[in-house]
Amino acid sequence: MKLRKVNVNTASPGQARARILVIYTGGTFGMSYDRDGVLVPFDFEYILTQLPTLKNLALDITAYSFIEPIDSSNINIEHWQLIAGLIHEHYNDQEGFVVLHGTDTMAYTASALSFMLEGLGKPVVITGAQLPISDPRSDAREHMITALEIASDQSNGVPIVQEVCIYFDYELLRGNRSKKVESMQFDAFDSGNYPALAKAGVKIDYNYPLIRKNLNSETLVLRKTFDTNVAILKLFPGISRQVVHSILTVPGIRAIVIETYGAGNAPTSEWLLSELREAIDRGVLLLNVSQCPGGRVLPGRYETSRLLQQIGVVSGADMTTEAAVTKLMLLIGEYGVEKTRTMIGNELAGELAL
């Protein structure tokens, strides 16, 4: 994957307020309409020409942009390793980080980065847009300017935000709690199980007690080994044994996120329980996550979840599917499936409440 590096000191010849690393991956944010009216990714220099107000921020910006910007539907593990690697490499010489990314898979990237950057004590703000920056009604300009502002905000020399977040439509959300919930309106993201970390109005109003504090911000450990032998099994009334069986017996499969109903409930049919039991006996880690965007898995509240608990399905508490699947891939890659079994229910980066 090729990168282009650009330095823009918007404070020059004056003194910059902060050094910010921007990583531009693509997405609608920087796209432009081609001759046939189709949206295609554009390069970072083009974005800069669309943002003359950048000069007022007095920031020293180093930008790495993908030479071939991508639609985020094409994001993969190598891109996450590249993004996290750049943040790790520049951790000590930058005050904050902004990642420009398509909205479609932004919540997955935010979750993955939050687990990869262990001990993060600086802001990593991911943002994108619903309309390209070239569009007069675009949300891209405000997102970029506010994301840069948040990435550089400090209180008594300490970064206010010390975690991976998504900034979108005037709200700062915890990255690994977020979900894309809207593809046409501007309020594309929500974090049903965690309130916004900040609201951007006339000023940026931080909800300080909710923001993660990193007490060990000296060292940033990069975790980057993923095991992709993971699947998602979404339940629906009428799901057939064949479908369940084929997912549970995929060759090499190590873990499966089961998207259950409500507070973690599943049908009590004997065939389903025996398929799940057999998978667990084969060493497959089964993780129970709810289809509801708000609330949590409460094992044993209903008979329909008690049976899952009894056979050894692990509770995913109030994790999003995006957080669950990225956490599983990374933990299994780094520590193996047995250790993951005990680690998966622990809070690592604010992704769940016990």
The CA-atom distances, in angstroms, between 321 and each of 108, 217, 287 are 9, 28, 10
List, in order, residues 6 or more apart from 351 with CB less than 8 Å away: 111, 114, 115, 174, 176, 177, 319, 320, 323, 327
- What are 194's two structure tokens? 């965690």
27 binding ligand ASP? (CB under 6 A): yes
CB of 37 to ligand ASP, least distance (A): 16
> Reduced to 3 states, what is the DSSP secondary structure of residue 17?
coil
Catalytic residue among 10, 25, 28, 320: 28
Indicate the residue among 104 and 334 with the shorter CB distance to ligand ASP.
Answer: 104
CB of 130 to ligand ASP, least distance (A): 6
Show contacts with ligand ASP in window 148-207 (CB under 6 A): none
Show contacts with ligand ASP in window 113-152 (CB under 6 A): 128, 130
> Is 340 among the residues known to form the active site?
no
Of positions 10, 28, 109, 290, contacts ligand ASP by CB under 6 A: 28
Cis, bond preceding 13 (omega within 30 deg of 0): yes
CA distance 266 to 264: 7
65 binding ligand ASP? (CB under 6 A): no
Show contacts with ligand ASP in window 78-117 (CB under 6 A): 102-104
Indicate the residue among 96 and 102 with the shorter CB distance to ligand ASP.
Answer: 102
Of positions 9, 71, 77, 277, contacts ligand ASP by CB under 6 A: 71
Total residues at interface with ligand ASP (CB under 6 A) = 10
CB of 192 to ligand ASP, least distance (A): 20
The CA-atom distances, in angstroms, between 270 and each of 46, 249, 276, 277, 286 are 59, 18, 10, 10, 17
The CA-atom distances, in angstroms, between 111 and each of 55, 117, 173, 319, 351 are 31, 10, 12, 10, 8
Show contacts with ligand ASP in window 40-59 (CB under 6 A): none
Going by C-alpha positions, the residue among 326, 260, 296, 290 that lies closest to residue 106 is 326
CB of 313 to ligand ASP, least distance (A): 32
- What are 221's two structure tokens? 């450990």
Binding-site ranges for ligand ASP (CB under 6 A): 27-28, 71-73, 102-104, 128, 130
> What are the residue numbers of the active site?
28
